[in-house]
Structure 1
Amino acid sequence: MKRRRLGTALSAVVTAMCATAATAQAAGGTAADQLLSLNRPVTASSSGGCCAAKNAVDGDSSTRWASGSGADPQWIYVDLGSVAHISRVRLQWDTSCATAYEIDTSNDHATWTRIYSTTSGKGGVEDLTSLDGNGRYVRMYGTKRCRSDSSHGYSLQEYGVYGTVGGDTTAPTPPGTPALVGDTPNSATVRWTASTDDVGVTGYDIYHDGQLCASVDGSTLTGTCGGLNPNSTYGFYVNARDAAGNVSQPSGTLSVTTPPSDDHTPPTAPTDVHTTTVTGTGIGLAWTASTDDVGVAGYRVYDVTDGTRTRIGASDADTPRATLDGLTPNTTYHLQVTAYDGNGNESDGSTPVLDVTTSGSSQCTPAQGVCAVTQVGADDDVVWGLVTLPDGTILFNERDAHAIVHLNPKTGAKKTIGTVPNVQSTDGEGGLTGLEINPVSFSSDHWLYIMHTSPSDNRIVRIKYDPSADALQTGTEQVLVSGIQRNKFHDGGRLRFSPDGKYLFAGTGDAQNGDNAQNTSSLNGKVLRIDPDGSIPADNPFHNAVWSYGHRNVQGLAFDAQGRLWEQEFGNSVMDETNLITKGGNYGWPSCEGTSGTCGTSGFIAPKHTYPVADGSCSGITIIRGFLYVACERGTRLYREEISGSSLTNVKEYLNGAHGRLRTVEPAPDGGMWLATSNGGDKDSTAHNSDNQIFHVSVS
């Protein structure tokens, strides 16, 4: 049988492991001598053009890993997926061997413990038995090559690591809810009560709003997060770690509003505000930059029609210009620009008020890119997954209320069609997230594919929709994938069918444990690929649901006209990234964030585009007529990027600051786009405390 359900596949793996152990014991060996490294993720200091690091653990001695030539030291390490006791390492060298090398173990691939070393390596097959070490990562670290000429490096045909997987799979208990010790305009210090663990807590990670901001050791119960903004509100919480890499569920959340700084002087008002372009749906503005005693943080553009000031645009500190998109043709706007600083001081409005009338044409030209923006619906919950039904109406998920809503975009009428069972929020980003339909079979099978957080995990389910009753048939629910770890943040959630309807892809988060992302046995920090009924396609690279790995928190998936899958991913504090997904590809997290960190490591696939987190925190993506559209939350803007070969070019920004935080974009039937905002309440799990809109956007 070529295809198996996920649970069946896992049972088969466990059975095979037990059989291996029994065979070893029957042969006079011990269960400790199991091959743990076969097809596990590997990382190397370098690789020659012929010979990738993964060749050393593929079980095929006709392939090999070769390091870069003429340099010492060079290394390769394998990720066993969890802490193991290492009893044996078998090295099968090609001609280019090592005369001096060591074998090291580590729990974090940063601090290494030597368990074997030699200065008299002979090459060939070196079977190192009676080793005694513990670690998740096992490294061969070569310091002297057999061949001293500069045209050769190190070359391993096979790198076999043997032992037994460690028994500690129990995560620490959640730490106590933090309390505030003290704060400044740019930092906050918190304390918490200790977590407990069956072996021992080795560290604590402090987060605000899903971003790691400090780490301390297991005996320290206070920590300081810096780099904060004055007069801003943050949600702080703590996770505990043990030596085996198990991460606790989070503490409760402490809300802290940093005090204002001593800067109470607003910037000067912008001057010489003037138009650069005027179309039926857009106005280009420019002005003379403001000055400030500390520094300008950005600009805001307002329409002050009828004495009401409505924000309709924004720009960054170094950009004294803005493009206002999605305006109404043949309409006069009364425009004013202000500047603000890091303490929130805002300047007076520019004078005089600039009166600009859009033209009478609503035609969307290629030069405009994004044109008319028309509101078609509103909701007071977090609008997450969204699909278009064959009749042109919309279904969308309410993340925190756990309901699915049917919206008619022509009339604005909406109806809640049902609540998804067994959904539990996380006081963060978890809850009811992904929603998808099969583009080929929905008209006949009526399955809704749903991703959500449950009390124990994240999972993918499918439930029938009854068009005649306009209702969710919860009794038809089938669980397709379970066991995706959950946490307060980093729960992923996007679903996307391949255009031919054969495979369902899902984006998952690392559950705030970066080690999950590099472990191909874990479903976290991955792009998953399954059949519509939940079984595992026979050609998946790791014989489970994993399609690609090394992701932090997958938020967007979209297929282009060539059938290629693009992915959008939250970074931590440096940059977000857009990736072109390949089968079995490793995208680098946690060692690499965008292009920051050890991104040049052999085997890591570089992103196609990156975004500073302050201008990004980008979520949903969609592709329309060869352009990738990226909706950004913190950046409050929409990116439009031309797909040129395997590159993203001609990147432009739209709707900057016009509608606040943007989360979800999907194709509309007329060649336009649906766009959903994510304003208010999207960092907690309180239902119906948001103020969101769903728009139709005309694109060129």
Structure 2
Amino acid sequence: MGAIALALAAPTMIAGPAEAADPLLSQGRPVTVSSSGWCCPAANAVDGNSATRWASAAGVDPQWIDVDLGAVVRVSRVRLQWDASCATAYEIGTSADRVTWTKIYATTAGKGGVEDLTSLDGTGRYVRVYGTKRCRTDRSRGYSLQEFAVYGSAGDVQPPSPPGTPTLVGVTSTSATIAWTAATDDVGVAGYDVYRDGQLCASTTGALTATCGNLGPNGSYGFYVNARDAAGNVSQASGTLPVRTPPSDDSTPPSAPSDVHVTAVNSTSIGLAWTASTDDVGVTGYRIYDGGTQIGTSDTASTTLGGLTPSTAYHLQVRAVDRNGNLSAPSTPVLDVTTTGGSGCSPSQGVCGATQITTDDDVVWGLTTLPDGTVLYTQRDVHDIIHLNPATRAKTTIGTLPGVENTDGEGGLLGLEINPVSFATDHWLYLFHTTASDNRIVRVKYDPAADSLDTSTEQVLLTGIARNKYHNGGRLRFSPDGRYLFAATGDAQNSATAPNTSSLNGKVLRINPDGSIPADNPFGNAVWSYGHRNIQGLAFDAQGRLWEQEFGNNVMDETNLIVKGGNYGWPSCEGTSGSCDGFVAPKRTYPVAQGSCSGIAIVNGALYVACERGARLYRAVIEGDTLTNVQSFFTGTYGRLRTVEPAPDSGLWLATSVDGDKDGVPHNSHNQILRVSVG
């Protein structure tokens, strides 16, 4: 595997307390099979006696056996003991009704004997082994399983129902009090968590009202509630209550910025700095104008205006703003600056111009470049895949992915990826999407001749990734050698899943292209690293190392260098805040107000980070295992930025996420896809 194996193999393992083993649940339970040979009935596989066995009909694939555990349980381990007629390719699945099955394990490298599959995470009454290829090609042989042992927890695995949509009790310029109707649960609701636009802002132990503070005047927010029971099961979210805070009684504007001056100028950008303003309450930021039209924002007393036109005069002024929205007088005098001529992009510029390639009225989420230089991207809320020719600006809808469901938040049709090594011949598209019951990874064939999606070829690669209104993750990235597909998942608004290595949530996952589990994964399942809150950015550098971008709650976002088996600390640690000893430390953190960053890309040894709330593109140089020379570009120029991907000729594709990206409603966004030139 070369450099990639060396870069990803060294684990950072964090030891935890020993846990009591889950009990054996399957022995003596009823079993159903696809067929049985004359010698060996199905019940032999669950009798606890390895001298007996179940044998299927000879020479037929696929074949299956399932066991009825009598009640819905959480499955943590399956132990298989084969005789010589084993399966080289098989899946383990769970089901509540024996109709819909969720795959919790798959392999194409079964070796027979005893296969003890630990660190599984599935829920269901029925557990099935589904064999698709036999160890023995002799048509006179079938599958022969001596023991099929299922272990797990028979406790409470049923989440509460969603609480009722909140109603507004009261609102001030800095807080909102909401109330909601109770959720129900088979055992009992233990408490509620209140979220503001995906960020936890209040919790109760049973009360049906709560107050969220730290809001801003004249601000728009969305509040919703999740219920949880004593076993840690978390409901799906309530409906969302939109709230707009009133202005405060602060009517005093900040002082005008002074000494506005140029720090750098080139063909497509201008660097500015000024003396900071003062305010009786506090300055929250600055707005930069060209002849009265706002063209940028800044959190501090300096900025770089990007995406400008060469050989063009700009007439610049700066105004300060406070938390109540009071604007200062413009800086004086007007600063007249003319960008330089030419279209070159020197390394010192970092990021140069940006050109709009197209617009879209849906959320542009996953995006990948095909070998011919054209682009495919996903529309999150419509569930379509669009083929874009950047040269002609022509767009074609190649198809709608079936089975996708929105979450009234951030779920839907998310990540899109192709195998960099095999796509030219296999034409598989790999997609991450939300369904009515989970998040999952699938692949489906693209037909280049017809320029269409062949939905009849769809294969489900990985299921059982919990979903919720927010925190679904969704980014996909192949290793540069095409051998492994990595996926980013969120904690589905249940932080207890992130440190649990048997859960697929709050993780970086690693699977083979066919959905099977690589033999060297650290926990025997799809989990590669854990302790993550909500990942939406993955990128490999030139050394074959995997970088990751993660949303914080209300303190800081983080950029991580991922190592095999590493624990990145959530929920004990957010960035570098909290109880962080013993966890893998981030390589860079960003205040949430200046970040909330989603996609990342690496081009020419620099990491580019697209930020939503921060409305900017960060650039950092990768030196060793550190990030240096961090700069920000396009701050406030294009609004919220979600997706950034490498483009041909060492450029970038950059997609905005303006309006409609928190509600799951199709066709209510105002987005651009930009072609960015970089140094």
> Which whole-Å CA distance do the structure 2 matches of 1:452 and 1:691 have between them?
22
Does the 8 Å CA contact 2:612/2:641 hold for their aligned counterparts?
Answer: yes
**Match runs of 1:355-374 below 5 Å:** 355-374=336-355
Of 327, 331, 339, which aligns to 1:346? 327
> In the TM superposition, what is the alpha-carbon distance from 1:15 to its structure 2 partner?
11
> In the TM superposition, what is the alpha-carbon distance from 1:608 to its structure 2 partner?
0.9
* Partner residue, 1:421: 402
Does the 8 Å CA contact 2:122/2:464 hold for their aligned counterparts?
Answer: no
Letter in 2 for 1:486: R
Letter in 1 for 2:219: S
Q: In the TM superposition, what whole-angstrom CA distance separates every residue of 1:411-456 from its partner, at most 9, and x where no partner exists?
A: 2221211111111100100011100000001111111101110111
Letter in 2 for 1:210: G
SS of match in other structure, 1:641: strand
* Partner residue, 2:294: 311
* Partner residue, 1:214: 202
Letter in 2 for 1:568: Q
Whether 2:432 is the aligned partner of 1:444: answer: no
Of 165, 171, 176, which aligns to 1:183? 171
Please give the root-mean-square deviation of Cα atoms over the aligned residues, in Å. Answer: 2.5
SS of match in other structure, 2:673: strand
Whether 2:639 is the aligned partner of 1:686: answer: no
> In the TM superposition, what is the alpha-carbon distance from 1:656 to its structure 2 partner?
1.2
* Partner residue, 2:459: 478
* Partner residue, 2:553: 572
* Partner residue, 1:632: 611
Of 231, 238, 247, which aligns to 1:251? 238
Report the TM-score when normalising by structure 1: 0.76
Of 136, 144, 155, which aligns to 1:167? 155
* Partner residue, 2:641: 662
Letter in 1 for 2:176: A
Letter in 2 for 1:180: L
SS of match in other structure, 1:614: helix
The 1:374–1:37 alpha-carbon spacing in structure 2 relative to 1, beyond 3 Å, is closer
Does the 8 Å CA contact 2:639/2:656 hold for their aligned counterparts?
Answer: yes
**Match runs of 1:335-414 below 5 Å:** 335-414=316-395
> In the TM superposition, what is the alpha-carbon distance from 1:14 to its structure 2 partner?
10
The 1:290–1:503 alpha-carbon spacing in structure 2 relative to 1, beyond 3 Å, is same
> Which whole-Å CA distance do the structure 1 matches of 2:360 and 2:76 have between them?
50
> Which whole-Å CA distance do the structure 2 matches of 1:469 and 1:310 have between them?
45
> Which whole-Å CA distance do the structure 2 matches of 1:405 and 1:544 have between them?
33
Aligned length: 553
SS of match in other structure, 1:367: helix
SS of match in other structure, 2:424: helix
* Partner residue, 1:224: 211
> In the TM superposition, what is the alpha-carbon distance from 1:164 to its structure 2 partner?
7.2
Does the 8 Å CA contact 2:120/2:525 hold for their aligned counterparts?
Answer: no
> Which whole-Å CA distance do the structure 2 matches of 1:619 and 1:330 have between them?
33
> Which whole-Å CA distance do the structure 2 matches of 1:440 and 1:15 have between them?
44
SS of match in other structure, 2:498: helix
* Partner residue, 1:160: none
* Partner residue, 1:234: 221
The 1:198–1:371 alpha-carbon spacing in structure 2 relative to 1, beyond 3 Å, is same
Does the 8 Å CA contact 1:627/1:643 hold for their aligned counterparts?
Answer: yes
Letter in 2 for 1:206: V
> Which whole-Å CA distance do the structure 1 matches of 2:610 and 2:650 have between them?
17
* Partner residue, 1:458: 439
**Which of structure 1's runs of 4+ aligned residues deviate more than 4 A?**
13-17, 19-26, 79-83
Does the 8 Å CA contact 1:82/1:244 hold for their aligned counterparts?
Answer: no
> Which whole-Å CA distance do the structure 1 matches of 2:441 and 2:317 have between them?
48
> Which whole-Å CA distance do the structure 1 matches of 2:345 and 2:483 have between them?
35
The 1:363–1:591 alpha-carbon spacing in structure 2 relative to 1, beyond 3 Å, is same
The 1:291–1:165 alpha-carbon spacing in structure 2 relative to 1, beyond 3 Å, is same
Q: In the TM superposition, what whole-angstrom CA distance separates every residue of 1:586-632 from its partner, at most 9, and x where no partner exists?
A: 111111111111111x3x11111111100100100011111111111
**Match runs of 1:582-593 below 5 Å:** 582-593=563-574
> Which whole-Å CA distance do the structure 2 matches of 1:272 and 1:647 have between them?
35
Does the 8 Å CA contact 1:459/1:480 hold for their aligned counterparts?
Answer: yes
SS of match in other structure, 1:536: coil
Letter in 2 for 1:231: N
The 1:335–1:584 alpha-carbon spacing in structure 2 relative to 1, beyond 3 Å, is same
**Match runs of 1:18-417 below 5 Å:** 18=26, 165-218=153-206, 220-304=207-291, 309-316=292-299, 319-417=300-398
Report the TM-score when normalising by structure 2: 0.78
Letter in 2 for 1:299: Y
> Which whole-Å CA distance do the structure 2 matches of 1:645 and 1:685 have between them?
40
Does the 8 Å CA contact 2:76/2:121 hold for their aligned counterparts?
Answer: no
Does the 8 Å CA contact 1:82/1:245 hold for their aligned counterparts?
Answer: no
Gaps of 5+ in 1: 1-12, 39-78, 84-162
Letter in 2 for 1:289: A
Does the 8 Å CA contact 1:81/1:519 hold for their aligned counterparts?
Answer: no
* Partner residue, 2:450: 469
> In the TM superposition, what is the alpha-carbon distance from 1:80 to its structure 2 partner?
12
> Which whole-Å CA distance do the structure 2 matches of 1:20 and 1:412 have between them?
64
Letter in 2 for 1:250: A
> In the TM superposition, what is the alpha-carbon distance from 1:353 to its structure 2 partner?
2.6
Letter in 1 for 2:571: P
Q: In the TM superposition, what whole-angstrom CA distance separates every residue of 1:513-536 from its partner, at most 9, and x where no partner exists?
A: 001111111111111111111111
SS of match in other structure, 1:443: helix
> Which whole-Å CA distance do the structure 1 matches of 2:486 and 2:355 have between them?
30
> Which whole-Å CA distance do the structure 2 matches of 1:341 and 1:411 have between them?
44
Letter in 1 for 2:359: A
* Partner residue, 1:612: 591
Deviates further, 275-284 or 386-395 = 275-284
Does the 8 Å CA contact 2:444/2:459 hold for their aligned counterparts?
Answer: yes
> Which whole-Å CA distance do the structure 2 matches of 1:237 and 1:547 have between them?
31
> Which whole-Å CA distance do the structure 2 matches of 1:193 and 1:310 have between them?
46
> In the TM superposition, what is the alpha-carbon distance from 1:20 to its structure 2 partner?
12
* Partner residue, 1:538: 519
Of 601, 604, 621, which aligns to 1:622? 601
The 1:414–1:310 alpha-carbon spacing in structure 2 relative to 1, beyond 3 Å, is farther
> In the TM superposition, what is the alpha-carbon distance from 1:352 to its structure 2 partner?
3.1
Of 651, 655, 661, which aligns to 2:630? 651
SS of match in other structure, 1:465: strand
* Partner residue, 1:548: 529
Of 505, 508, 524, which aligns to 2:489? 508
* Partner residue, 1:519: 500
> In the TM superposition, what is the alpha-carbon distance from 1:312 to its structure 2 partner?
2.1
> Which whole-Å CA distance do the structure 1 matches of 2:378 and 2:222 have between them?
24
Instruction: Tell me the percent identity.
Output: 70
SS of match in other structure, 1:535: coil
